Structure 1
Amino acid sequence: MVSADPSVDALPLIALQGIRRSYGGGADGAPAVEVLRGVSLRIHAGEFVAIVGASGSGKSTLMNLLGCLDRPSAGSYHFQGQDVATMDADALAWLRREAFGFVFQGYHLIASASAQENVEMPAIYAGMPEGPRAERAAALLTRLGLGERLGHRPSQLSGGQQQRVSIARALMNGGRILLADEPTGALDSHSGAEVMRLLHTLADAGHTIILITHDRAVAAQARRVIEISDGEIVADSAPESPKIQDKSASGAHWVSASSYQKYSEGGGPRRAFWGEMREALRTAWRGMRLNRVRTGLTLLGIVIGVASVIVMLAVGEGAQQRVVAQMGTLGTTLMYLGGRAPPSGGPAGVITPEDLQAIAQLPEVGHVMPIIGDPITVRYGNADRQVYVFASSHVMPEVHHWKLQQGRYFTDAEDRSLAPLVVLGSQARAHFFPGAQSPLGKFLLIGNSPFEVIGVMAERGSDSGAQSYDDMVFIPYQGGRARVYQAQTQPDYTVVTAASVALVQAAEAAVHRLLLSRHGREDFGISNAAAKLQAEAETRRAMTLMLGLIAAVSLLVGGIGVMNVMLMTVRERTREIGIRMATGARQRDILRQFLTEALLVTLVGGVAGVVIGVGVGAALIAAGVPVVFSLSFMAGAFACAVATGLVFGYMPARHAARLDPVTALGST
């Protein structure tokens, strides 16, 4: 922002007073080493200053302090009159982004990014839109003679070209103050001379240049030379009243506390968010492509986790539905109703046909099936046998979830018309009609009445040690009362089914209330399959727990893989983290960068896992395995994988965000 206050112009741009910087001396027991010893220094806007000293003199440490990459152990640093010690980490990142541009001896370019992408980086964190950002980066590189190298990576550029990319990056956000640390140290004499000419040009344009060097010949080209030795300033060629440059001539606008407040309150971070997200995604995708083997192994863990969850849940759901269907054949919705003597004494109650009709009208009730049954002599030809003759209504196969093996079952109309029809159990059929002969259309003599065989039930077995259903024969209830059980005045018992498993208790209560109101006393008894219901519930819970454990282990494996690869990524890219911080990235920007990379890995792995899981499930279906897919299961597995990746990716990302900029830049 352009300052209109002349009192601000009179202030030095940078004012150091009694700056000290020590390393060590902490809890680790390392001895304290004082690198800077009471440095006091003032630099005005527009100066071209060289800080010269031998290796180890403290000049690079001083540059890190000037560029807000490091904090002093003691002393004060005022930037345009504001105490830098009062600024938090975000404010310091903003100051580095808006005020400073760094030119390093080792160039510090991101190896996987192109020249243009390296130059654009400070503008990404400043929130500049993508179009203007790319245009400005291209213009800067063209101005520095790299117009044909925009898409080249650092490894494809010479040392001098890399340094010019570094200078272009320093100028991307304006470059009000250029901090150049040994900018010619790694260059040949020709490239070094080119870099110095660029710095002179920038100084003439009004930029403040602070050059760090050990080469006195290079330092002599500056307009002010400060010599440092053993952490102290021993010489300064500055005049007592240095000339203040006209900042408006250079077009530079200056930063202040008020401009930072406007930035932080005026939506700057929000404007930058989407640009930073695109950069994070682009960087993440590039890293995945460059490390294909490692990425593939990480993805394998996530893919296996997601696919196994989907397949196991689908198989488990299929198995559960089969178990529930099988449990249904055991009578999980059945209640048994019969007359009995009331608790207060008196004759046993009688369940009348009218009672059964009233019960059938209850909304909680599905079916009402009266039953009469006794062992009776059954004959066919020369074969006779005592067989349990089961007289019931036409709904028996539906009530007991029992399929026919051959023929058909009798209908309600045939029951009401007293039709003499019989359906055989599988063992009864084998006894009376051995071999391959068909029993359909043959007649059995049940008691003294002939009954035509119209069907054979599928094999079922017995319940809880009771007589096997397969040894029985089944006749219509009304026809059985008229032809076999003439002496029966009421059913032996009545099976009542609830409309659903969830309504068993409600159905029992409704039947109880109805009969109590009709009889006036409790001369009846109702029992249900509570034990079977409990077994079904336990089966479901056990299956859910098993599948949950499988899912947890699978996702844990995938999450550990993400954490492992992210820790390796942070270690490999520590210098890149330092570069991003030097160009203005905040801690949350670094955190977002690495969380985005973890998210991208889990997203790709999750999608692949869903596809593979569906493919495996389809193959199982083709093989006859009961599999039931659910979109909610797939979405849940995918979401859990992404969430697990983010949770396990957070620790490496937080570690990256908390790295010290100076330490990160110095990593190899």
Structure 2
Amino acid sequence: MSAATPLLSLRGLRKQYGGHDGAPATEVLRGVSLDIAAGEFVAIVGSSGSGKSTLMHLLGCLDRPTSGTYHVAGRDVAALGADELAWLRREAFGFVFQGYHLIATESARENVEIPALYAGTPAPERESRATALLERLGLGQRLDHRPGQLSGGQQQRVSIARALMNGGRIILADEPTGALDSHSSAEVMQLLVELADAGHTVILITHDRDIAARARRVIEIRDGQIIADTGTAPVSEAARRATHAWPPLFGARGHGGDRFTGLAGDLREALRAAWRVLWINPFRTGLTLLGIIIGVASVIVMLAAGSGSQFQVMKKMAVFGANKMYVAATPVTSRDRTGPLSLADVETMRELPNVEVAMPYLEGFVISRRGNVDHRTEVGGVTTDFEVALDWPLAEGVFFDAEDERTLAKVAIIGKRVRTALFEDGTDPVGQTILLDSVPFQVIGVLAEKGALAGNADEDDRVVVPYSTASARLFGTPYPTWVAVAIRRLQQARQTENAIIDAMAVQRGQRDVRVYNRAESIRASAETERTMTMMLGLIAAISLLVGGIGVMNVMLMTVRERTREIGIRMATGARQRDILRQFMTEAVVVSVIGGVAGMVGGVLVAVALRLAGIPAILSLTAIVGAFGCAVATGLVFGYMPARNAARLDPVQALNSD
């Protein structure tokens, strides 16, 4: 900027309010033209409604003119965007308001630091400079006092210190003494005089002509027009040297402001402010947290209960073969004739893809006897594949081997109910001899207990013997009653069932084989249980959604309550994204705190359910997912209030009640 270029230059500046949506148009400024040089101490005086405050808002880039031009250091303000105007307010201007406009939740030092915060100044440098300014203004003992703990004169001095934080090249003071007593007014005016002598350009807005007389140039405005101007007064030599020492306002680094703290520093400050604001109204914050806590805990508990129920059902069904099929020869209609399955059929099934084991089972009922105790039971002739085919291990003893099958050995493995019936005296059955339809068999093992499925209590009431022995010594037939098939991949159960039916149709010449596909039933049951678990989780998520709506409502209320604070932050250089980040951070902080509390609560409830005997399986995925949903809820539902805050008009925000 050359020496001949005014620091501030207005030409034909007009400002009109209304004129749309049926509101009448009101012209507040009517063609104001004015030049203010660097280092001047100017008083703009006028009665209430004369347009002087509107002029100050335009000078401070808080508002835009309806028409006319405004240049700052030779740069047309109309060409600057919202963030560039924020930069200009931050770098060039310092505001001193009649109502002080300090943020109630911040200390004196923190209020002074705000312009430097938005300029990206590192925290240690901000704190040091703010402390030095407050000490210079006689508030060294009030650094950590909040505005409510300071007198009016002290608050105004904090406001002046804030105006000087980033240099305060241009001080805009709007009725700075209007709310002060005479002593405090004199102190504030003396400070403004000293600032003017130090090279600051001071523009004082006042209706008091005695106050205006302290300035070196007085401009009178009436009905939106300048009616008197005492003219540019000579700037003292000291002030002239000071103004020449100022770096160019629009220098080599351009405008828009370099940021030094980076995103981490911005977020740290936003988190600090958010934490403080949230706990100013703990009751409301607690109610908001409660919605998130209930939502997160409900999701965790519902999914844990659903998973526990699913596990219990699947465990019970798996006892009877999770990957098993049972094949039997069954006529399609009562008129059809069919032959029994053969061992050749079993061999064909073994060769099919996805079939791990195919075991013939020869079934019949016999009278088992030991001593004078008789017990009617089922006998099954099986091969050495029994344990794999039916997923049925031994509780005691050993299983018979291939040599026993080859030699038609009379060895038997008994179930729990047979043991209870024949060995009620407590004798160890292994090694003992029992009769099966008068044929002696040596007991070499005891089957593990299976229990019952769907009310069937007969699974453990059986004896298994080698297939060859059952065929030759007990039942006199080589044909299996049915075939047990174990498959490798449960997902291919349906395809394997169809492959068995097709292969048997080719081999037997007719489709007379039926497959009892327990594997497919269990797979379908598992899918059903998973669906039910997800439905429980979705139902629980509704409460999380309600909690998110609560966050949005509280944030909307917070924006309304803190509109003036938003205006103060904008006046001191906050960009739209700074305001957006601040309110988004507050929403996320609520959601994170609620999410953590909800996770703890949900885990504790799930543990309590397990201690009470109710199946509940905690899932890390469910816990992390519920927490992630809580944070996402804060982001989604906090965005609209935060966006509304960021889009507020600075002047309207400052003038809000």
| TM-score normalised by structure 2 residue count | 0.88
In the alignment, does 2:17 pair up with 1:23?
yes
Pick which of 621-630 and 379-388 moved more.
379-388
Q: Is the 8 A contact 1:595 1:649 kept in 2?
A: yes
2:86 to 90, 93, 100: 93
Q: Using the alignment, how far apart are the partners of 1:240 and 1:151 within structure 2?
A: 40
| Cross-structure match for 1:11 | 5
Q: Is the 8 A contact 1:302 1:606 kept in 2?
A: yes
| Cross-structure match for 2:204 | 211
Q: Is the 8 A contact 2:340 2:479 kept in 1?
A: no
DSSP 3-state at the match of 2:279: helix
1:120 deviates by 0.5
Q: Using the alignment, how far apart are the partners of 2:23 and 2:188 within structure 1?
A: 40
Q: Using the alignment, how far apart are the partners of 1:488 and 1:21 within structure 2?
A: 109
| Cross-structure match for 2:605 | 616
1:358 deviates by 5.9
1:423 to 414, 421, 444: 414
Q: Is the 8 A contact 1:355 1:515 kept in 2?
A: no
Paired residues in the alignment total 644
Q: Is the 8 A contact 1:111 1:154 kept in 2?
A: yes
DSSP 3-state at the match of 2:121: coil
In the alignment, does 2:315 pair up with 1:325?
yes
1:137 deviates by 0.7
DSSP 3-state at the match of 2:35: strand
1:296 to 286, 294, 299: 286
| Cross-structure match for 1:195 | 188
| Cross-structure match for 2:589 | 600
1:637 deviates by 1.1
Could you list the runs of 5+ residues in structure 1 that have no partner in the other structure?
A: none
Q: Using the alignment, how far apart are the partners of 1:314 and 1:270 within structure 2?
A: 47
In the alignment, does 2:483 pair up with 1:504?
no
| Residue correspondence of structure 1 range 86-125 to structure 2 within 5 A | 86-125=79-118
Query: Kindly tell me: are residues 546 and 247 of structure 1, through their superposed partners in 2, closer, same or farther at Cα, counting changes over 3 Å?
Result: farther
| Cross-structure match for 1:667 | 656
Q: Is the 8 A contact 1:558 1:645 kept in 2?
A: no
| Residue correspondence of structure 1 range 446-595 to structure 2 within 5 A | 446-451=436-441, 455=446, 458=449, 460-461=451-452, 469=459, 472-485=462-475, 487-504=476-493, 527=515, 528-529=517-518, 532-533=521-522, 535-595=524-584
Q: Using the alignment, how far apart are the partners of 1:613 and 1:467 within structure 2?
A: 38
Q: Is the 8 A contact 2:39 2:243 kept in 1?
A: no
| Cross-structure match for 1:64 | 57
| Cross-structure match for 1:274 | 264
1:47 to 20, 23, 40: 40
Pick which of 367-376 and 387-396 moved more.
387-396
DSSP 3-state at the match of 1:290: coil
| Cross-structure match for 1:411 | 399
Q: Using the alignment, how far apart are the partners of 2:262 and 2:651 within structure 1?
A: 25
1:253 deviates by 2.3
| Cross-structure match for 1:657 | 646
1:246 deviates by 3.2
Could you list the runs of 5+ residues in structure 2 that have no partner in the other structure?
A: 332-336
Query: Kindly tell me: are residues 594 and 47 of structure 1, through their superposed partners in 2, closer, same or farther at Cα, counting changes over 3 Å?
Result: same
DSSP 3-state at the match of 2:534: helix
1:630 to 613, 619, 627: 619
1:276 deviates by 2.4
DSSP 3-state at the match of 1:173: coil
Q: What letter is aligned with 1:274? A: A
Q: Using the alignment, how far apart are the partners of 1:12 and 1:143 within structure 2?
A: 30
DSSP 3-state at the match of 1:246: helix
1:15 deviates by 1.4
Pick which of 414-423 and 179-188 moved more.
414-423
DSSP 3-state at the match of 1:42: strand
| Cross-structure match for 2:334 | none
Q: Is the 8 A contact 2:11 2:31 kept in 1?
A: yes
Identity of aligned residues (%): 54
| Cross-structure match for 2:158 | 165
1:480 deviates by 2.6
Q: Is the 8 A contact 2:388 2:486 kept in 1?
A: no
1:140 deviates by 0.7
In the alignment, does 2:134 pair up with 1:141?
yes
2:361 to 360, 363, 371: 371
Pick which of 454-463 and 267-276 moved more.
454-463
1:115-174 deviations in whole A, cap 9, x for unaligned? 110001100110111111111111111111111111111111111111111000000001
DSSP 3-state at the match of 2:16: strand
1:367-397 deviations in whole A, cap 9, x for unaligned? 4432111244555677767654333356657
1:300-355 deviations in whole A, cap 9, x for unaligned? 211121122122222222221122223324544222346899xxx99987434993
Q: Is the 8 A contact 2:359 2:483 kept in 1?
A: yes
1:57-115 deviations in whole A, cap 9, x for unaligned? 11111111111111112222122222211111001101100110000001000111111
Q: What letter is aligned with 2:291? A: G
Q: What letter is aligned with 1:284? A: A
Q: Is the 8 A contact 2:292 2:594 kept in 1?
A: yes
Q: Using the alignment, how far apart are the partners of 1:375 and 1:253 within structure 2?
A: 107
Query: Kindly tell me: are residues 349 and 177 of structure 1, through their superposed partners in 2, closer, same or farther at Cα, counting changes over 3 Å?
Result: same
DSSP 3-state at the match of 2:343: coil
Q: Is the 8 A contact 1:46 1:247 kept in 2?
A: no
Query: Kindly tell me: are residues 25 and 433 of structure 1, through their superposed partners in 2, closer, same or farther at Cα, counting changes over 3 Å?
Result: farther
| Cross-structure match for 2:274 | 284
1:200 deviates by 0.6
1:206-237 deviations in whole A, cap 9, x for unaligned? 11000000100000110110111111111111
Query: Kindly tell me: are residues 516 and 246 of structure 1, through their superposed partners in 2, closer, same or farther at Cα, counting changes over 3 Å?
Result: farther
Q: Using the alignment, how far apart are the partners of 1:348 and 1:523 within structure 2?
A: 13
Query: Kindly tell me: are residues 575 and 334 of structure 1, through their superposed partners in 2, closer, same or farther at Cα, counting changes over 3 Å?
Result: same
In the alignment, does 2:638 pair up with 1:644?
no
| Cross-structure match for 1:255 | 249
Query: Kindly tell me: are residues 240 and 285 of structure 1, through their superposed partners in 2, closer, same or farther at Cα, counting changes over 3 Å?
Result: closer
Query: Kindly tell me: are residues 157 and 633 of structure 1, through their superposed partners in 2, closer, same or farther at Cα, counting changes over 3 Å?
Result: same
Aligned-residue CA RMSD in angstroms?
3.6
Query: Kindly tell me: are residues 247 and 558 of structure 1, through their superposed partners in 2, closer, same or farther at Cα, counting changes over 3 Å?
Result: farther
1:510 deviates by 8.4
Q: Using the alignment, how far apart are the partners of 1:409 and 1:558 within structure 2?
A: 60
Q: Using the alignment, how far apart are the partners of 1:283 and 1:34 within structure 2?
A: 39
Q: What letter is aligned with 2:583? A: F
DSSP 3-state at the match of 1:235: strand
Pick which of 553-562 and 441-450 moved more.
441-450
Q: Using the alignment, how far apart are the partners of 1:142 and 1:467 within structure 2?
A: 89
Q: Using the alignment, how far apart are the partners of 2:457 and 2:218 within structure 1?
A: 110
1:447 deviates by 2.3
